[in-house]
């Protein structure tokens, strides 16, 4: 799998300088960002669907928000949510340095609370990228269903948990069993859903692509 991922990643275009610096910081400081081979899927979806409003759940240090802004149309508007103060502060600085800073709004706070307020304000997004606390994916889904437009797309990252999601819970380290169980429940809900049509793409740490059934 590593050989395949490396081969796929070799086709990814070279990053602009500001994104390279964010990536280097993430690698050096062990901050997870979207993997190179997964970016090709994200880039393809952005360029083919041309979303006007994007919601990102899980900013980290701002790499994927800046990446999406770079590969989206000039009039795109991106809202990205981050709960951790240290990461939000770094993300704000990184976003400020990009040429697309006017396209991105950083929302600091708890994702559930922020999305709940977005629902109350009747906000809608035609592309949602979820890459946050894995154990909370099912909880986030309650609000995503209300925020996603009828023809919108949900892209969920890190669903395979380095392959452990396919294993028995008894083979998973005890401290990781809650995340393991909740991820399996989330995938089961999405793959069997009558509301969503979903597919698992086994690149990087796994992507789930979901659209509404029509």
pLDDT in tens, 49-104: 999 999 999 999 999 999 999 999 999 999 999 999 999 999 999 999 998 999 99
Q: Are 172 and 164 in contact (CB under 8 A)?
A: yes
- Sequence-separated (6 or more) residues with CB below 8 Å from residue 171: 164
Residue (of 192, 85, 83, 87) closest to 136 by Cα position: 83
Pairing mode, strands 207-212 and 125-130 = unpaired
Residue where the block lists tokens 């103060």 = 85
pLDDT in tens, 10-58: 888 899 999 999 999 999 999 989 998 899 999 999 999 999 999 999 9
Interhelix angle 63-71/36-49, nearest 10 degrees: 40
Q: How far is CA 67 from the centre of its chain?
A: 11
- Sequence-separated (6 or more) residues with CB below 8 Å from residue 26: 32, 33, 60, 61, 63
pLDDT at 214: 78
85: left (phi over 0), alpha (psi -120 to 50) or beta: alpha
Q: What is the DSSP letter of 31?
A: -
How many domains does the chain divide into? Answer: 1
Q: What is the mean pLDDT of the chain?
A: 89
| CATH code, domain carrying 16 | 3.40.50.150
Give this prediction's pTM: 0.91
Residue range(s) defining the domain that contains residue 39: 2-212
């Amino acid at each position: 799998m590593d050989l395949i991922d490396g081969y796929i990643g070799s086709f990814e275009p070279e990053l602009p300088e500001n994104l390279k610096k964010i990536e280097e910081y993430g690698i050096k400081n062990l901050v997870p960002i979207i993997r190179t081979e997964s970016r090709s899927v994200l880039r393809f979806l952005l360029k083919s669907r041309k979303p006007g409003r994007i919601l990102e759940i899980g900013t980290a240090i701002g790499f994927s928000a800046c990446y999406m802004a770079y590969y989206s149309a000039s009039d795109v508007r991106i809202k990205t949510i981050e709960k951790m103060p240290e990461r939000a502060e770094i993300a704000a600085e990184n976003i400020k340095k990009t040429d697309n800073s006017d396209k991105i709004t950083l929302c600091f706070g708890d994702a559930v609370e922020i999305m709940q307020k977005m629902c109350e304000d009747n906000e809608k997004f035609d592309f949602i990228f979820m890459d946050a606390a894995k154990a909370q994916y099912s909880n986030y889904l309650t609000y995503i269903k209300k925020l996603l437009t009828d023809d919108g797309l949900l892209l969920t990252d890190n669903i395979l948990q380095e392959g452990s999601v396919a294993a028995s819970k008894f083979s998973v380290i005890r401290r990781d069993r809650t995340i393991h169980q909740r991820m399996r429940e989330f995938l089961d809900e999405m793959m069997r859903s009558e509301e969503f049509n979903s597919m698992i793409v086994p690149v990087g740490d796994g992507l789930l692509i979901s659209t509404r059934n029509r």
